[in-house]
Amino acid sequence: MSELNLLPTPDEDDLRSTVAGFLAKRCDTAAIRDMYDGDRSAAGPVWRGLAGELGLAALLVPEELGGAGASAREAAVVLEQVGGSVAPAPFLTSAVVATTVLLAADATDAARDLLRGLAAGERTAALAVPFSAGSGGAVPTMAAEGDRVSGQATSVAGALEADVLLVPVAADGGVAVLAVRAADATVVPVESLDMSRQLADLSLEGAAGEVVVPAGAGAAAIDRALLTGAGLLASEQVGVAAWCLLTTVAYLKERRQFGRVVGGFQALKHRLADLYVAVESANAAARYAAAALAADDADAELAVHLAASYCGDAAVQAAEEAVQLHGGIGMTWEHPAHLYLKRAKSAQIALGAAGAHRDAIGRLVDLPAPD
């Protein structure tokens, strides 16, 4: 078995510059802060730019469906930049999680039509499960009578931006996934810890649905999507962590107290050195997960749980250190550190909490819990 390549390819470097350049120009920190005060006007243009202008929603969609036929590696590059700018874009929820559901082997023609729309940047989808749900658990389902779907889903990420909802439905012979127009659901925004990825509660009452993954195949499709999502969320977390480290280091090189640059105090230098090690380690773990997913490697499941458990904690550590080491300014509404703290803490819980991923590792590598 050849070793997975953990370094970026030249194409991946190009993609990184493109996305970074776009976000630097078009994703404004002040506008993200306004989202906490109810002004969501920043969200639409950023996503239209990433999905439509740059065509990034097409990355995981095969070429024959109008997609780019790229892999988890390229999606990870995008997510690292999304994390680095706490961009309010549903790339993870639509272009990764929902897209992966629709890519299930036995998905229907309706799923393929939907994938064409997603790839073109004309449609945006969200999987109607709580953002905290991780792979390996029971999937919360709604009920269907014929093609009419009824039920609730709480704390769904990406639903506010979506025009189509992928709803797990209990059916004869297992779970099916039905596509429902968001306009046919009641979508109630939730005051969320991370308003740059604001959640919503969904309520459906006899909404018309179309089968995208048939009964019996839905649970596996959703599980795969949640696993892929967790593995790639790790790259977003690396982006968050890297921003926190760089910004804090830069600030401590300027901030003076006691007649010295405070970054010269050894107590702070050592904390930042430890943080650097954590961020670099997280980077390696996230790349390994993306490379394993891209190669459909036998190690992919373990790689995802490893990255998810490690990077989630590393991002929180980085964001908490950023707030602390900025001192008073780090506690203010004006400074962007809190936007990263809120993204990091939410992401740590999303798609399976760090502890759940460690439990999964215990099962995978035969380190069982006490009886």
Q: Which is nearer to other proteins, 188 or 367 (CB)?
A: 367
Q: Of 24, 143, 183, 284, which one interacts with other proteins (CB under 8 A)?
A: 284
Which residue, among 275, 297, 279, has the nearest Cα to 239 in the 3D structure?
279
CB of 76 to other proteins, least distance (A): 14
Structure tokens at 236: 């977003």
Amino acid at site 303: A
Contact at 8 Å (CB) between 90 and 47?
yes
Stretch 341-360 residues interacting with other proteins (CB under 8 A): 358-359
Q: Of 33, 287, 326, 335, which one interacts with other proteins (CB under 8 A)?
A: 287
The answer to whether 13 contacts other proteins (rule: CB under 8 A) is: no
CA angle 201, 206, 210 (to 5 degrees): 90
Stretch 302-321 residues interacting with other proteins (CB under 8 A): 306, 309-310
CA distances from 370 to 250, 359, 362, 363, 367 (A): 46, 12, 11, 12, 9
The answer to whether 277 contacts other proteins (rule: CB under 8 A) is: yes
CB of 303 to other proteins, least distance (A): 8
Instruction: Tell the burial category of 140 from Cβ atoms under 10 Å away from its Cβ (0-12, 13-18, 19+).
Output: middle
Q: Cα separation of 342 and 193, whole Å?
A: 6
Contact at 8 Å (CB) between 357 and 308?
yes
CB of 52 to other proteins, least distance (A): 34
Compute how many other C-beta atoms are within 10 angstroms of the C-beta atom of residue 336.
Answer: 20
Which part of the chain contacts other proteins (CB under 8 A), choosing from 61-69, 212-220, 275-283, 344-352? 275-283
CB of 294 to other proteins, least distance (A): 15
Q: Of 60, 213, 252, 293, which one interacts with other proteins (CB under 8 A)?
A: 252
The answer to whether 261 contacts other proteins (rule: CB under 8 A) is: yes
**β-pairing verdict for 164-171 and 142-145:** parallel
Q: Of 1, 258, 266, 296, which one interacts with other proteins (CB under 8 A)?
A: 266
Q: Of 16, 40, 269, 345, which one interacts with other proteins (CB under 8 A)?
A: 269
Q: Which residues pair with 153 in a beta bridge?
A: 202
Which part of the chain contacts other proteins (CB under 8 A), choosing from 26-34, 58-66, 119-127, 257-265? 257-265
Q: Which is nearer to other proteins, 35 or 282 (CB)?
A: 282
Which residue, among 158, 165, 48, has the nearest Cα to 93 in the 3D structure?
158
Q: Of 264, 327, 329, 334, which one interacts with other proteins (CB under 8 A)?
A: 264
Q: Cα separation of 235 and 311, whole Å?
A: 8
Q: How many residues make contact with other proteins (CB under 8 A)?
A: 41
Q: Cα separation of 21 and 123, whole Å?
A: 24
Which residue, among 19, 58, 16, 76, has the nearest Cα to 290 in the 3D structure?
76
The answer to whether 295 contacts other proteins (rule: CB under 8 A) is: no
Q: Cα separation of 245 and 106, whole Å?
A: 44
| Contact set with other proteins (CB under 8 A) | 3, 5-7, 249, 252-253, 260-261, 263-264, 266, 269-270, 272-274, 276-277, 280-285, 287-288, 306, 309-310, 358-359, 361-362, 365-371
